Amino acid sequence: MVKSESTPHVMKVAQTNDTSFIEMWESLKSTFPKFFGEATYKSWLAPLAFKEFNSGRFVISAPTSFMRDWVIDNCKTQILKFLQELHPTVLLLDIVVDKNLAIESQQQAPAIIAEQPSLKATHAGEIEVIGSRLEPRYVFDNFVVAPSNELAHAAALRVAESPKVHFNPLFIYGGVGLGKTHLMHAIAWHINKLHPKRKVVYLSAEKFMYQFIRALRFKDMMSFKEKFRSVDVLMIDDFQFISGKESTQEEFFHTFNALVDQNHQVIISADKSPSDLPGLEERMRSRLGWGLVADIHPTTYELRLGILQSKTEQLGAEVPINVLEFLAHKIASNVRELEGALNRIVAHSTLVGGAITVESTQQVLRDILRANDRRVTIDEIQRRVAEHYNIKTSDMHSAKRVRTIARPRQIAMYLSKKLTEASLPEIGRKFGGRDHATVMHAVKKVSELMLEDRSINEDVELLLKMLQC
């Protein structure tokens, strides 16, 4: 075991001198494309260089801290394993940043850059190669419009149809799986169809950053700038990725300004509004809000059902309406998950045969359904019941005994017992520190009233339904 530099063994290794380690590293590296994949190799691993071997510590360097961090997160363990197989004295793997590396490895640069066809080589109207591939399914025709997304949809359509720039940038934001990427792809497809000469570039913020870093590394900023500043429509998806990444943000800001100044359209999506995105420079934040900021709200039951119907049609499948209703009701988290669920039940019935029913759906989707099982909280029950009876939520905790307040409070206790796992004393505590006997009395009383009094029965049934969906 190597302990310190002074052990003879280490001395010997150190003297084996660096050339043999460089060779070892380079030959190991040549196996990486096969193991990690060509793309990963080219983007992240090829630039890594051997730096030194010292006290069992094998040190390699990366040209930027971003690359280093990525390699540490994604490949380091495996690389260390390989090194240890080759050389038993390797104990640790360190990856450091060496800014000079960019200059030294410049000879390699042309080979990598050449893979990216230059702008001149592409035909006008193609979705640019610097962008990402577009999903054919993500077109306007397949997008179901509802109040929750109609503003974003209308803005997207306007941008896609009009050759004039009406608002710049168009900033679309909303939670995961609510259709931001779908809308952006739809814009790109649409422009491509209507105005094939317009140059449209769609890419994720992550990819933008990666291209920027690559340009820095290969001292190729000129063509990077030219590439991005010569497009007619630039779309950056998942912009939140850039927040907090100062130099990428800075570069994006310049690109952005250049495009907006030339009256070229910029479209951005993010998970939050410009004012809520953390880690954004102030001037960037304010510029992002200059155009139109359109949000996509969480889905409603009707939209989910509409999407399911549209997707079922696209799949050419037949799924009974009560199954679609069941799914729309149960999977409220996001549309991607909803689609996944639909695909699964359709695939299951195709493979295993048999009709699709609510029961078979429950079986096939056990895991998803369990995860989506919403647990109602006592707070929520109190809020809903108070709203229903038009009293203050604070009255749920108060000592007031008038019937108009005491009765709703008893109903809320009854519902808490029925819909949550809380014990009677726990429920009592949540209702202004009442004891368990009071809760028990309320539960009994409401059960009785439900049998005698039709309007109470209806109220409770309605509340139950609302709280369970």
Query: For binding to ligand ADP (CB under 6 A), which residues are involved?
Result: 138, 142-144, 149, 174, 176-182, 307, 335-336, 339
State the binding partner of 182 from Mg ion, ligand ADP, none, CB within 5 to 8 A by kind.
Answer: ligand ADP
Using DSSP bridges, classify how beta strands 265-270 and 233-237 pair: parallel, antiparallel or unpaired.
parallel
Structure tokens, 25? 């590293």
Q: Which is nearer to Mg ion, 41 or 241 (CB)?
A: 241
Dihedral sign computed on CA atoms, order 415, 417, 422, 425:
positive
Query: How near is the Cβ of 397 to ligand ADP at its closest, in Å?
Result: 39
Alpha helical stretches, state H, 41-164: 65-74, 76-86, 101-104, 109-113, 150-161
Is it true that the peptide bond before 425 is cis, omega within 30 degrees of 0? no
Cβ-based nearer residue to ligand ADP, 46 or 145: 145
Residue with tokens 């029950």: 381
* Beta carbons of 195 and 164 less than 8 angstroms apart: no
Binding partner of residue 179 among Mg ion, ligand ADP, none, CB cut-off 5 to 8 Å per kind: ligand ADP
C-beta of 260: minimal distance to ligand ADP in Å? Answer: 23
By beta-carbon proximity to Mg ion, the closer residue of 180 and 417 is 180
Smallest distance, ligand ADP to C-beta of residue 328, A = 13
Furthest C-alpha separation in the chain: 95
CA distance 462 to 388: 10
Pick what 346 binds: ligand ADP, Mg ion, none; C-beta below 5 to 8 Å, kind-dependent.
Answer: none
Taking contact as CB under 5 A, which single stretch among the options 164-172, 173-181, 287-295, 429-437 is the one that binds Mg ion?
A: 173-181
Provide, rounded to whole angstroms, the least separation between the CB of residue 205 and ligand ADP: 12
Choose from ligand ADP, Mg ion, none: what does 149 bind? Cβ within 5-8 Å by kind. ligand ADP
State the burial class of residue 304 (Cβ atoms within 10 Å of its Cβ: 0-12, 13-18, 19+).
buried
Which of Mg ion, ligand ADP, none interacts with 443 (beta carbon under 5 to 8 A by kind)?
none
Residues 180-199 that bind Mg ion (CB under 5 A): 180-181
Alpha-carbon span 352 to 358, nearest angstrom: 16
Strand partners, 237: 204
Site membership for Mg ion, residue 204 (CB under 5 A): no
CB nearer to ligand ADP: pick between 339 and 395: 339
Q: How far is the CB of 278 from ligand ADP (least distance, A)?
A: 19
Q: How far is the CB of 184 from ligand ADP (least distance, A)?
A: 8
Q: How far is the CB of 135 from ligand ADP (least distance, A)?
A: 8
Smallest separation, CB 363 to ligand ADP (Å): 24
Segment holding 92, helix H or strand E: strand 92-97
Site for Mg ion in 213-232 (CB under 5 A): none
Which of Mg ion, ligand ADP, none interacts with 395 (beta carbon under 5 to 8 A by kind)? none
Number of Cβ within a 10 Å radius of residue 313 = 11
Cα–Cα dist 327/277, whole Å: 32
Alpha-carbon gap, residue 288 to 57, rounded angstroms: 47
Q: Which does 339 bind (CB under 5 to 8 A by kind): Mg ion, ligand ADP, none?
A: ligand ADP
**Among ligand ADP, Mg ion, none, what does residue 131 contact (CB within 5–8 Å per kind)?**
none
Taking the least distance from each CB to ligand ADP, the nearer of 284 and 342 is: 342
SS3 call for 143: coil
Determine how β-strand 49-54 pairs with β-strand 57-62. antiparallel
Residue with tokens 């993010």: 270
Contact footprint for Mg ion (CB under 5 A): 180-181
